[in-house]
Amino acid sequence: MSRKKFIYLVNLFLILTINLISGYYNFGSNQNSKNSYINVNYYPECKKNFTYTNRQKNKCDISDLYRYLEDSDRPESNRFISGLNNMYFNFMNRSEFIKPIRNILDSYKVYNKHEFIYQFGIERYYFDFDDYNYRSIIRREVNGLPDSEVFIDLNNYNKNGEFYIEDFEISHSLKIMAYKINLDTGFWKIKFKYMNGKDLKDELSINSKTDHAFVLNDAGFIYSNYPTKLASNGEKEVNFSSQILFYHKFGTSQSVDKQIFLSF
């Protein structure tokens, strides 16, 4: 037997052996996955459209035969997309892997949701959601500790039309938090709380989008509001033609807040 013929037979034997072994170990999976293929013989019909051209920089027109499929209002586009979707779902529903994939994706739905974390000193604060999926909770955690605590929960108060917490701010001394509450009237309310957990009695009614800040070593708070006047029916009416910057001194009523700037 010649050397070339011997090498040929050895290679043939190795190829047959590898095929037999792989077929033996993969027989079960091949049987299970034989339906997990897309039959390209039944691909959705997609006709060429020669009427659309794309003008290049060199002023050469190049046909874009299938650009019309990007127009979702065309019936032929919808038929093609529906055909692709049917192919996909038929393929996935036959696949042996679809159930574990669905289980994995469904498991991603179960997680604790909260928003960005704000760091103040060694403490971190973030919004959280209640059972009704409203952002009505602010949580606090201390660096190095595994658990967080509920610092503010609107559901623990008499809400009186309070919808959710829109924003919060902590003073430079890290002693007081101001948190803005969105009301069902479309306006806002600002409340205050000491970082030791005690609520302040101060409460500001807000009728405008406003920035705000603690001033004078936490003695007061500045914010803006639109002026109001009494309407003919006796109710307060907001004048949106100008905006006023106010100073609020903690421990006093909002009705005595000082006007420090008027915009026209």
Looking at residue 52, the DSSP 8-state letter turns out to be: -
For residue range 66-88, what is the model confidence (pLDDT) as tens digits?
A: 888 888 888 888 888 888 888 87
Nearest to 46 by CA among 10, 22, 70, 20: 70
Residue 16: pLDDT band (50, 70, 90) is: very low
Domain of residue 66: give its range: 50-108
Q: Tell me whether residue 21 is in a domain.
A: no
Q: Which of 186, 185, 176 is nearest to 248 (CA)?
A: 176
- Both 244 and 166 in one domain: the answer is yes
How many distinct structural domains can be found in the chain?
2
Average pLDDT over residues 238-242: 84
243 forms beta bridges with 263
Under the banding of pLDDT at 50, 70 and 90, the label for residue 11 is very low
Same structural domain for residues 161 and 233?
yes
Q: Is it the case that residue 18 has pLDDT exceeding 50?
A: no
Residues 67 and 164 in one domain: no
In a shared domain, residues 88 and 168: no
Asked if residue 177 and residue 257 are part of one domain, the reply reads yes
The answer, yes or no, to whether residue 61 has pLDDT greater than 90, is no
Confirm whether 11 is domain-assigned. no
Any domain includes 164: yes
How far is 66 from 64, CA to CA, in rounded Å? 6
For residue 78, is it left (φ>0), alpha (ψ between -120 and 50) or beta?
Answer: alpha
257 with 172, same domain?
yes
Residue 217, by phi and psi: left (phi above 0), alpha (psi -120 to 50) or beta? left
Task: Report if residue 42 sits inside a domain.
Answer: no
Q: What is the pTM of this model?
A: 0.57
Least confident of 113-117, 124-128, 193-197: 113-117
- Is residue 150 domain-resident? no
Determine the longest span between alpha carbons in the chain, in angstroms. 117
Q: Where are the alpha helices (DSSP H) in the chain?
A: 3-33, 75-94, 98-107
Q: Which amino acid is at 112?
A: N
Query: Stretch 140-161: mean pLDDT, rounded?
Result: 84
**CB atoms closer than 10 angstroms to residue 168:** 19
Q: Is residue 75 part of a domain?
A: yes
**Domain end position, chosen among 73, 89, 108:** 108
Q: Is residue 165 in some structural domain?
A: yes
Tell me whether residue 162 is in a domain: yes
Q: Which residues pair with 194 in a beta bridge?
A: 176
